[in-house]
Structure 1
Amino acid sequence: MPPTELHNAQRQSTTFMYLYALAVSGGAVAYMPFLTILLPLRVTVLAPDTILATLAVAAFAGAFSASISNIAFGWASDVTRQRRGWILAGLIFSTALLLVMPYVAGSSLLIVMIVLWQFALNMMLAPLAAWAGDCIPDAQKGMLGGLLALAPALGALAGAIVTLDFFAVFPQRELLVACLVILMVGPVLLFGRPLPMPCLMERKGNEAGTSETVEPQAHPVARMWLARLLVQIAEASLFAFLLLWFRSLDPQFGENDAAGIFALVLGMAVFLSLAVGYWSDRENRPILPLIWSAGAAAVGLLMMALADGLLFAILGYVAFGIASSIFLALHSSQTLRVLPRPQRRGRDLGIFNLTNTVPSLIMPWLTLLLVPKYGFDALFLLLAALAIIACLLLLTMPRGRQAGLRA
């Protein structure tokens, strides 16, 4: 059988892929409602006079803990050659720590608990991310990326659920979040039986029984890492300050209006990511959608910079939001294609995870430097430039068999 036909014949079961996508979405549910809603509410009660300072310290310490622990537990799951056990342990410990949060008595202790919780949460998230690389072949990575777009959408939906009036009087909404996470992550641990894919554990450059080695520059890992970082900086900047910008254009713009736009963007991104991912698998063009979506994100940001009215501003954000969501979802799956050492896949994905945590450390200072003096337009122009650079990095990336990419 020719190598191409062999590659296409090695397909993972869709049942496992659906269970895996549900588990990844459970990971998003584990942190999005807590960090964006429940934690600020706890801080308001514990430290009403220092809310912003406490949240800033908690965010910084949590991001640092997440960065280190994601690399550490990814590496640990590589060394032990065991993903499922680490995922289960992380699920148990992070759930236990989350349930303790309502009983924390002081802001300093709360920050310590956030650090420990992030540590335990990444014990689950790091090996979960690497597991896909072990058992989902390149021919299905576009579909995987589309399914991964469900994670932020379901994370946002969970946040909406815990804020419903029905649960507003419930003193321990962390319990609701914990139950959702268990119900979403548990099925893949109990029923996930992926077909073995030994070919995915072969080092890049040794396909088809060859013994050639791959030169470091042949792998586009650095370009993929930097491109994601640039788009993540843009996405993180807008997530934090979008409502303020909309209100600068129209003071009547409310929180419900912003929530509706977020829901529209996330919902459309799921369906479009699935469609684009399916197309990239069928045409064997894994990187082209990333180039398109990075370029479209830049166009959306330019529209926002030029907007002088609310309607054009909303259209610009919708274009950016959908394009960046597609980029981040498909990038997560296609990154697995280019990592050169499967035996260190978890560790390497932990390094890629820095692109998710570093922007939260960069974004506040970037915004405070530009917006007060030059306005939001300058911020959007800078973010558009970052998205254009990401597009060019991918457009000029090495192609070919050694890089694991189609020219």
Structure 2
Amino acid sequence: MTQAQQQKQANRFLLLYALAAAGGAISYTPFITLLLPVRITAMVGSGDIEWLAYATFFGALASSGGNILFGWLSDKSGVRTPWIVAGLVLSSLLLLSFSLVDDIRLLVLVMIVWQLAVNMMLAPLTAWAGDCVPDVQKGTLGGLLSLSPALGALSAAFVTLPGLAGPDGRLWLVAGLVAAFVLPALLYGRPRPFPDLMDDTGMSRDAGHDERSATSPFTVARMWLARLLIQISEAALFAYLYFWFRTVDPVMTDARVAQIFSVILVVSVPVALTAGRWADRVNRPFLPLPVAAVGAAVGLLLMALSDTLLSAMIGYVVFGVSASVFLAIHGGQTLRVLPRPSNRGRDLGLFNLTNTTPSLVMPWLTLALVPVFGFSGLFFALTICAALAALLLLTLPRPL
């Protein structure tokens, strides 16, 4: 048994790291989901949807490339925290600079540069967990990562509270929240060193072409594709959920949809924490993943068959909780399967493509299916995606 398996990382670092990861979510969630659309509408009026599409599309491309680039640079430099600090400072300054932008084309350009700076912080921050958290705690780490989307959504609600701050003041609030969540881990985390987690030699012996190896190319590919399939399902729901609920019940309001979404976020955190800790305790690191993928498939199937608002909400809650747990646990266990610590940041950047690619795939999938088959056709297709994800993960090396 290696040193990394015998010892555990301090709980202090795990908790502070979870807050830092949540700070990463706060760095982009309020701005992209609320503050950016409002700012674009104020600038261009009726052309806001088109320009928002441009900004988010090119921003997603910059995010994808930036995550790989800065993950790779943090690998080559051999340090993570200086990159995290630099990204935190630059992304905060660029976020505040949006208040000075009065031209829509310039806004798109600043959006691209801001996304690069955000990923200068996020890429090494994600890889830092792989450097510091041994395999026996990666389930717990995944459970703690479920805090990120919940706190990201709560931050969006907080900064937009009526009377709290104006449009420019909200940018300052977001920047302050990000610093408050990220800096404690950098200043006070003091993680215990685990040399085995940084040793390419020991890892690479298991990383050949043996499909039974946890770090084989076959395992990595299945983990990547399974996450992509679940992310496609979640991206489709995120964009079109309100419209679907209105087809089930025309009196459905956006406030009620937001309440359902909040319930999912609240429930997902304890479920993910319980599943992650259980996986660590019984040494079944991957088992929660196919279980959660099956849960997502069941939820999507219920949604496809729903003809009442109650059944629709039940289906969405089942899907939402399952998908949230899947993505959180997957984030922790991905660190287990990457074959070489020296390329950890770069490889995590490639996994990050599963987060950005669905935004490019989802509109075409929706346009192809909904006009012909309705939302039920879309949900049946997404059910197949989630079921395929479960099947891919059931073939991972034992023990699951």
Shorter-normalised TM-score: what interval? Answer: over 0.9
Match of 2:115 among 105, 118, 122: 118
What is the 5 A alignment of 1:197-208?
197-203=194-200, 206=202
Q: Distance in 1 between matches of 2:210 and 2:182?
A: 36
- Stretch moving more, 104-113 or 165-174: 165-174
User: For 1:167, what is the secondary structure of its paired residue?
Assistant: coil
Q: Distance in 1 between matches of 2:7 and 2:232?
A: 36
Aligned length in residues: 395
State whether structure 2 residue 191 is matched by structure 1 residue 194: yes
Match of 2:208 among 210, 214, 219: 214
Q: Distance in 1 between matches of 2:210 and 2:5?
A: 27
User: For 1:160, what is the secondary structure of its paired residue?
Assistant: helix
Instruction: Report how far residue 167 of structure 1 moved.
Output: 2.3
Write the letter of the residue equivalent to 1:344.
Answer: N
* Structure 2 residue ranges without an equivalent (≥5): none
Write the letter of the residue equivalent to 1:215.
Answer: H
What is the 5 A alignment of 1:373-392?
373-392=372-391
Q: Distance in 2 between matches of 1:192 and 1:382?
A: 44
Residue-by-residue CA offset, 1:37-59 (whole Å, 9 max, x unaligned) = 00000100111131111011111
User: For 1:165, what is the secondary structure of its paired residue?
Assistant: coil
CA contact (8 A) 2:86 2:121 kept: yes
CA contact (8 A) 2:160 2:170 kept: no
Q: Distance in 1 between matches of 2:283 and 2:132?
A: 18
Write the letter of the residue equivalent to 2:322.
Answer: A
User: For 2:200, what is the secondary structure of its paired residue?
Assistant: coil
Q: Distance in 2 between matches of 1:367 and 1:327?
A: 23
User: For 1:164, what is the secondary structure of its paired residue?
Assistant: coil
Q: Distance in 1 between matches of 2:289 and 2:336?
A: 14
Residue-by-residue CA offset, 1:8-47 (whole Å, 9 max, x unaligned) = 4310000011110100000100100000000000100111
What is the 5 A alignment of 1:10-89?
10-89=7-86
Match of 1:172 among 169, 189, 193: 169
Write the letter of the residue equivalent to 2:87.
Answer: G
Q: Distance in 1 between matches of 2:97 and 2:313?
A: 40
Aligned counterpart, 2:154: 157
Aligned counterpart, 1:321: 320
Instruction: Report how far residue 215 of structure 1 moved.
Output: 2.1
Instruction: Report how far residue 166 of structure 1 moved.
Output: 2.2
Residue-by-residue CA offset, 1:253-290 (whole Å, 9 max, x unaligned) = 11111111001000100010000001000011011100
CA contact (8 A) 1:78 1:345 kept: yes
User: For 2:284, what is the secondary structure of its paired residue?
Assistant: coil
CA contact (8 A) 1:71 1:351 kept: yes
**TM-score normalised over the length of structure 1:** 0.94
Aligned counterpart, 1:100: 97
Instruction: Report how far residue 89 of structure 1 moved.
Output: 0.1
Write the letter of the residue equivalent to 1:214.
Answer: G
Q: Distance in 1 between matches of 2:49 and 2:11?
A: 45
User: For 2:190, what is the secondary structure of its paired residue?
Assistant: coil
Aligned counterpart, 2:336: 337
Write the letter of the residue equivalent to 2:28.
Answer: Y
Q: Distance in 2 between matches of 1:125 and 1:138?
A: 21
CA contact (8 A) 1:102 1:172 kept: no
CA contact (8 A) 1:370 1:378 kept: yes
Residue-by-residue CA offset, 1:376-395 (whole Å, 9 max, x unaligned) = 00000000000000000011
* Structure 1 residue ranges without an equivalent (≥5): 401-405
Instruction: Report how far residue 374 of structure 1 moved.
Output: 1.4
Instruction: Note the aligned Cα RMSD (angstroms).
Output: 1.5
Aligned counterpart, 1:394: 393
Aligned counterpart, 2:248: 249
Structure-2 change in CA distance of 1:140 and 1:61 (3 Å): same
User: For 2:208, what is the secondary structure of its paired residue?
Assistant: coil
User: For 1:47, what is the secondary structure of its paired residue?
Assistant: helix
Aligned counterpart, 1:287: 286
Instruction: Report how far residue 292 of structure 1 moved.
Output: 0.1
Q: Distance in 2 between matches of 1:338 and 1:171?
A: 43
Aligned counterpart, 1:403: none
State whether structure 2 residue 291 is matched by structure 1 residue 297: no
Write the letter of the residue equivalent to 1:12.
Answer: Q
Q: Distance in 1 between matches of 2:158 and 2:306?
A: 33
Write the letter of the residue equivalent to 1:66.
Answer: S
CA contact (8 A) 1:277 1:330 kept: yes
Residue-by-residue CA offset, 1:99-142 (whole Å, 9 max, x unaligned) = 01011011110000100000000000000000000010000001
Q: Distance in 1 between matches of 2:198 and 2:223?
A: 21
Write the letter of the residue equivalent to 2:272.
Answer: S
What is the 5 A alignment of 1:352-371?
352-371=351-370
Q: Distance in 1 between matches of 2:98 and 2:5?
A: 48
Instruction: Report how far residue 213 of structure 1 moved.
Output: 6.2
Write the letter of the residue equivalent to 2:184.
Answer: P
